[in-house]
Amino acid sequence: MEMTSVSLKRGCLVVEDNDGVALQEETKKQKVSECYLTNSQDGIENDGLHSSDGEPGPPEVEGAKKDKKNSSAQVQEEEDGFTEEEEEPESFADMMKHGLTELDVGITKFVSSHEGFSGILKERYSDFVVHEIGKDGRISHLDDLSVPVDKEDPPEEALTVLTAEDKQQLEELQLFKNKETSVAIEVIEDTKEKRTIIHQAIKSLFPGLETKTEDREGRKYIVAYHAAGKNALAKVRTAADPRKHSWPKSRGSYCHFVLYKENKDTMDAINVLSKYLRVKPNIFSYMGTKDKRAITVQEIAVLKISAQRLAHLNKCLMNFKLGNFSYQKTPLKLGELQGNHFTVVLRNITGTDEQVQQAMQSLKDTGFINYYGMQRFGTTAVPTYQVGRAILQNSWTEVMDLILKPRSGAEKGYLVKCREEWAKTKDPASALKKLPVKRCVEGQLLRGLSKYGMKNIVSAFGIIPRNNRLMYIHSYQSYVWNNMVSKRIEDYGLKPVPGDLVLKGATATYIEEEDVNNYSIHDVVMPLPGFDVIYPKHKISEAYREMLTADNLDIDNMRHTIRDYSLSGAYRKIIIRPQNVSWEVVAYNDPKIPLFNTDVDNLEGKPPPIFASEGKYRALKMDFSLPPSTYATMAIREVLKMDTSIKNQTQLNTNWLR
């Protein structure tokens, strides 16, 4: 997912939320447009938020490759709905003056004592690489592009023998979208081998169709037709059994593969793959979503699509690579991952070698405060937690106003116009006309208001996909948790105290006076507010109560009149110690050169970069692994001792460039 709704031309602190555990199954079925990011940033994975660059467009193909890394400001402005004739928009730095800082969301404490220093994680998404850690504890790598040998697979030529026009006609026939009962394809350069390949191509790519050879006026044609009418097709095309007629019984039903992607979020990637394969996205499964502004490597499973067909996509897709194919009996499930391994480059660091050593040693030995990162709370002047609080208060008019009202900050041009129209007319249909992309949260809410009327905001809001509605409430829980953890560390420091909570299995219990020495700060958890949690037995418990009371909420009654919005709560460790921590400081002269090899670089045999002993700039390259539901930005914050908000990073980067 893209980090903000306007791309950062000057470099930023890129984020990857390592949150994948509590994702709901419907996450896979939702694709919400980028304008949703006016209310939140990327990476809110366990709330099921996915964003894209608007409505799904044609997949990217090699022939249409553009230099996305260095797209011009003019192109970006046109995408944002601005043209040169219009008044000049504010700079991104100016717009982000209205954004949130860490202080606004309760992120105030550090665990280490070292002196902080500055560093820039540039706009280059290649400085931020994420490798998924599977349920077996192994880090996913793309290191094998070979296809498992399978006698059942059609020959390679079967994937290329049909023209685009042939495929369109066959697909329309397969889905009963035309009135024809058959499609005839003339065999040019007629040979028995050529006819066989066309037969195989049609049967493997369009299950449910049968083929026969016919002579027509001295020419050979392969004729495709339905084997047994619409009922047979319906059976073939279900998600549970999409390839019945062509899938070998001896082969596992799921093809697992490693997906390497650049600058694409997981759902966008799956939408592109499904479009090329002409299947529905819900036959894909995965263990966790990965953000857009990064290079990411993760395992994907797909139902009854052969490794051969998947590998063929490597020839026509850019910024993707598929490999490490295997056939398995089961799909992947959300939350099965053990975490993610990060390789991060902080460029142009100012810290001395001694400062870097102290910072990284502290990260390795002690860890960092497990705050919810800035991407949890949105990029504009209306934080997502405010919407969540209004939902919990049953203040539905306020919910509507918070989502739709004009606000300062970075937004798409068409969204600004939509908000202005709403403020002027309070007419949902009129405001909706200003949105070219209707699948964003604002568009969905306006559609709901048009359908149900202004007096039934609850039903209108219910049109928004469930995961995206719950994201607001989870944001409020995160806001409370961050503030309470800061207070807990302020009052009691980095040691367990009587009355703290620890988990025994899934059950929270109190630390008693006599047991304090049996625990460390890494065992201590704190609750996200809800009806099914207990609170610490010290003054932080009263702090929870005071904070919710100030927000007109009853901590003793977190059940909502609408069941979906009842909060059961959860427990979260307050300190996380990363695993597999390593680092090095390297010198470099060219800001554009990559400072480490990716999996694709290694597959292509590129030698690793060689660093000079001295250079114009210094960079910190760091590797570490995190469990699910933790934020890499919070680990980086602990190293730099810097505010990770886009507002602060943008100002820093702008000053550095000047």
Alpha helix (H) residue ranges in 287-432: 307-312, 353-365, 384-392, 396-404, 413-425, 428-432
Q: For residues 270 and 298, is the Cβ–Cβ distance under 8 A?
A: no
Residues in Cβ contact with 569 at an 8 Å cutoff, skipping those fewer than 6 apart: 477, 527, 528, 529, 530, 531, 532, 533, 558
Question: Which of 559, 390, 378 has its CA nearest to residue 458?
Answer: 390
The answer to whether residue 127 is catalytic is no
Alpha helix (H) residue ranges in 11-128: 73-79, 92-95
The number of beta carbons lying within 10 Å of the beta carbon of residue 139 is: 15
In degrees to the nearest 10, what's the CA dihedral of 453, 459, 463, 469? Answer: 130
Tell me the helix, strand and coil percentages in the chain, rounded to 5: 40, 15, 45
Report the C-alpha gap between 306 and 255 in whole angstroms. Answer: 7
Beta-carbon-side half-sphere exposure of residue 241 (alpha carbons within 13 Å): 9
Report the C-alpha gap between 33 and 3 in whole angstroms. Answer: 13
Report the C-alpha gap between 392 and 404 in whole angstroms. Answer: 18
The number of beta carbons lying within 10 Å of the beta carbon of residue 517 is: 8
DSSP β-ladder status, 507-510 and 501-504: antiparallel
Of 291, 500, 599, 643, the catalytic one is: 291
Angle at 545 between CA 540 and CA 546, to 5 degrees: 90
Q: What is the largest CA-CA distance in the chain?
A: 96
Record the tokens describing residue 290, joined without a space. Answer: 């990965």
Question: Which of 150, 209, 226, 191 has its CA nearest to residue 200?
Answer: 209
- Catalytic residues, by residue number, are 291
